[in-house]
Amino acid sequence: MREIGILLNNLKKSLLQKSVLSKILPIVLTLPLYHFTTLPLLCQDLPGKAIFEQKCAQCHGVNGTPFQQDPNNPSEYLKHPDGTLKTDEKAAPAASLVFPRPRDFTRGAFKVRATPNGEIPFDGDLVHIIAVGMPGSSMPSWKEALTEHQIRDVVAYIKTFSDRFQSEKPSSPLVIGKPLKATESSLKKGREIFMELQCFQCHGMEGRADGPSAAGLNDDWGNPIPPANFHKGWNFRGGHHVENIYRTIMTGFNGTPMPSYADAFGDDKDKPWHLANYIHSLSADQPNTQEVLSARYTSDKLPDSPDGALWNKLDPVDFPLSGQIIQEPRHFTPSIDMISVRAAYNNEEVALLLEWDDPTRDVTAPADSVQIQIPMILKESEKPYFMEGDPRNPANLWRWDAKTDRLSNLRSTGMKSSKRALESQSLFSSSSTFSDGQWRLLVKRKRASEPLQGLSLEGSQFVPIAFSAWDGGKKEQDFRRSLSTWYYIFLEPPASKAPYAYALFAFFLVAGLERRLLKKSSKLEVPCLAGRRGSSKSKG
């Protein structure tokens, strides 16, 4: 019974994902499965207010603002001592636990628009952004949960929160037109324009959100707002296509320090496209997530620093991290959302190169830190609990912090357990660099070790691995961290040529047998199948 369930589930998932089939088959095959889940949504044709209160108010607030208004002065908000706004726990319970904060609609300030800087958006802008959501924030995409009609109703309702929609009219829309080809020279020009317009002041020289003015930026409400990291395009609020980036550059993000550069290019229509092409080229479309981190075998010495030539030959695997919201004290707004790792090994050592973005280098307590976790003992059917192990299956933690710039080797039986320090001097070496908003940490560990010091890492073995990271600058330490669940690291066996030989052998063997069969059957054929052959011939 359960297997049938798995089958249906998988079938449904794969049908929904294959683009070729997604047009026809889901309608035929998955309607019965989805019947129950979509029906209530499709049938209830709620007016905007009801939809808003049911689906949006928990973040945006029943009255269109997640913040507490000052009772004495309704146009002002109450603030925490640090200057950030107090959220309204009753009207918008989720608001205090997400960052960036949900939008306050009472000011009519919207980020993703085709209207000139400072102006209210078109209805179509709002419908679009609600349908696709705002990546990198908690604002979800609503196109599967709401019909277009319902989204239009909600938009009409959102507009009632601000008088601006009554008193103002948006002027001419931005015409995006056709992107320029992202040639080498276009990208080069883009980089020049990037320097000329000083985007690096906020976004950093390499676009990692670490510019000199990045730390102090606030939005119009007074909440801190970090600049976008151009290496994680999938987090762009307004989308990562080059047209989206062009739009951001030309219209800016209202309510934030991200300005509009519509007037910065004079009559040159190509310049903004060069810039957009350059920004677009800095990021992949998606992180490269994998279940297995493969360590490549090399017979040479492993590099001693994160800049070794070997690393350029390996593709990093990206591990998404979540805030630690599983045990108290929970951390809902983590700073580091991903860690990228490459791995290689030789006969003596395993080396991991960890890279993660962090706008500031924090070497005093709480210092930037990172942790690799593997089991203390490898069992076939069990793993330690993914959060630093459990008493039955302890975990082995390799913890690095920027203050000591060293690794400690720890044995742990849980988040709250006290950690036992294991011998690390003879096992580990590490080397780290920080530049332009990125840590690069090389960790090397001896493969052979005493059982009490941790696993002996053998080839062709799947070893569970998990990661944690702390941004000291955001006061992260202990439980306040980002973490992942289990993945695997696998020491790939050295490449071999044998499969080619097997395949060639199989090919000739089969071809030879076929030849014999052909010869034999040409003899057989005449007496026993001649009649049939004759008839089929006369037909053809």
Chain positions 179 to 208 lying near another protein, rule: CB under 8 A, are none
**Which residue's CB is nearer to ligand HEC, number 168 or number 514?**
168
Strand locations in 414-460 (E): 420-422, 428-435, 438-446
Q: What is the H or E stretch that residue 204 is in?
A: none
Q: How far apart are CA 45 and CA 425, in angstroms?
A: 67
Contact partner at residue 337 from ligand HEC, another protein, none, CB < 5 to 8 Å by partner kind: another protein
Answer yes or no whether residue 456 interacts with another protein by CB under 8 A: no
Q: How far is CA 255 from the centre of its chain?
A: 25
154 binds, among another protein, ligand HEC, none (CB under 5 to 8 A by kind): ligand HEC
Which of the choices ligand HEC, another protein, none does residue 517 contact, using the CB cut-off of 5 to 8 A by kind?
another protein
Longest dimension (CA), the chain: 107
Residues 154/130, Cβ–Cβ less than 8 Å:
yes
Least distance to another protein, CB of residue 444, Å? 24
Q: Give whichever of 130 and 491 is closer to ligand HEC, judged by the CB atom.
A: 130
Residue in 67, 257, 273, 64 with CA at minimum distance from that of residue 186: 273
Q: Which stretch binds another protein (CB under 8 A): 121-129, 148-156, 468-476, 496-504?
A: 496-504
Measured distance CA(209)–CA(215) in Å, rounded: 9
Compute the distance between CA of residue 56 and CA of residue 371 in angstroms, rounded to an integer.
37
Least distance CB 14 / another protein (angstroms): 5
Q: Which does 352 bind (CB under 5 to 8 A by kind): ligand HEC, another protein, none?
A: none
Going by C-beta distance under 8 Å and a sequence separation of 6 or more, which residues neighbour residue 443?
351, 352, 353, 354, 372, 398, 400, 407, 428, 430
CA distance 130 to 374: 41
Least CB distance to another protein at residue 503 (A): 4
Under the binding rule (CB under 8 A), the answer on residue 380 touching another protein is: yes
CB of 511 to another protein, least distance (A): 5
User: What would the two tokens of residue 367 be?
Assistant: 């210092």
Determine the Cα–Cα distance for residues 134 and 148; give it in Å rounded to an integer. 17
Which of the choices another protein, ligand HEC, none does residue 234 contact, using the CB cut-off of 5 to 8 A by kind? Answer: another protein
Chain residues that interact with ligand HEC, rule: CB under 6 A: 55-56, 58-60, 94, 98, 100, 102-103, 110-112, 126, 129-130, 134, 137-139, 142, 154, 158, 197, 199, 201-203, 213, 217, 225, 227-228, 236-238, 245, 248-249, 253, 256-258, 261, 275, 279, 325-326
Question: Three-state DSSP class for 368?
Answer: coil
> Which residues inside 426-455 make contact with another protein, applying CB under 8 A?
none
Closest CA to 484 of 393, 373, 377: 373
User: Smallest distance from the beta carbon of 535 to another protein, in angstroms?
Assistant: 11
Q: Smallest distance from the beta carbon of 337 to ligand HEC, in angstroms?
A: 14
Among 198, 213, 218, 286, binds another protein (CB under 8 A): 286
Give residue 235's identity as a one-letter amino acid code: N
Residue number with CB closer to ligand HEC (237 or 481): 237
Shortest CB 211 distance to ligand HEC, Å: 7
Instruction: Please pick, from the candidates 19, 73, 312, 381, the single residue that binds another protein as defined by CB under 8 A.
Output: 381
Using an 8 Å Cβ cutoff, are 202 and 225 in contact?
Answer: no
Closest contact distance (angstroms) between CB of 189 and another protein is: 29
Output 25 or 302, the one with its CB closest to another protein.
Answer: 25
* Whole-number Å distance between alpha carbons of 397 and 388: 7
Give CA–CA dist 249/264, Å, rounded: 10
Binding residue (CB under 8 A) for another protein from 201, 327, 347, 435: 327
213 binds another protein (CB under 8 A): no
**Where in 218-237 is the site for another protein (CB under 8 A)?**
234-235
- 3-class state of residue 307 by DSSP: coil
Decide which of ligand HEC, another protein, none touches 60; Cβ closer than 5 to 8 Å per partner kind: ligand HEC
Q: How far is the CB of 272 from another protein (least distance, A)?
A: 26
- Residue closer to another protein by CB (options 172, 538) is 538
Residue 483 token pair: 């973490």
Residues numbered 290 to 319 that lie near another protein (CB under 8 A) are: 290-292, 294, 319
Residue with tokens 């007074």: 222
- Separation between Cα atoms, residue 49 and residue 46, nearest integer Å: 8
Give me the amino acid identity at 179: P
Please report how close the Cβ of residue 392 comes to ligand HEC at its closest, in angstroms. Answer: 18
Distance (Å, rounded) from C-alpha 430 to C-alpha 438? 16
Length of the chain: 540
| Residue 249 binding target from ligand HEC, another protein, none, CB below 5 to 8 Å by type | ligand HEC
Say how many residues touch another protein, by CB under 8 A: 104
Which is nearest to 219 in space by CA: 248, 259, 273?
A: 259
Rank residues 254 and 373 by Cβ distance to another protein and give the closer one: 373
Q: Are 111 and 214 in contact (CB under 8 A)?
A: no
Strands 462-470 vs 349-357: parallel, antiparallel or unpaired: unpaired
Smallest gap from residue 43 Cβ to ligand HEC (A): 18
**Partner touching 487 among ligand HEC, another protein, none, CB below 5 to 8 Å by kind:** another protein
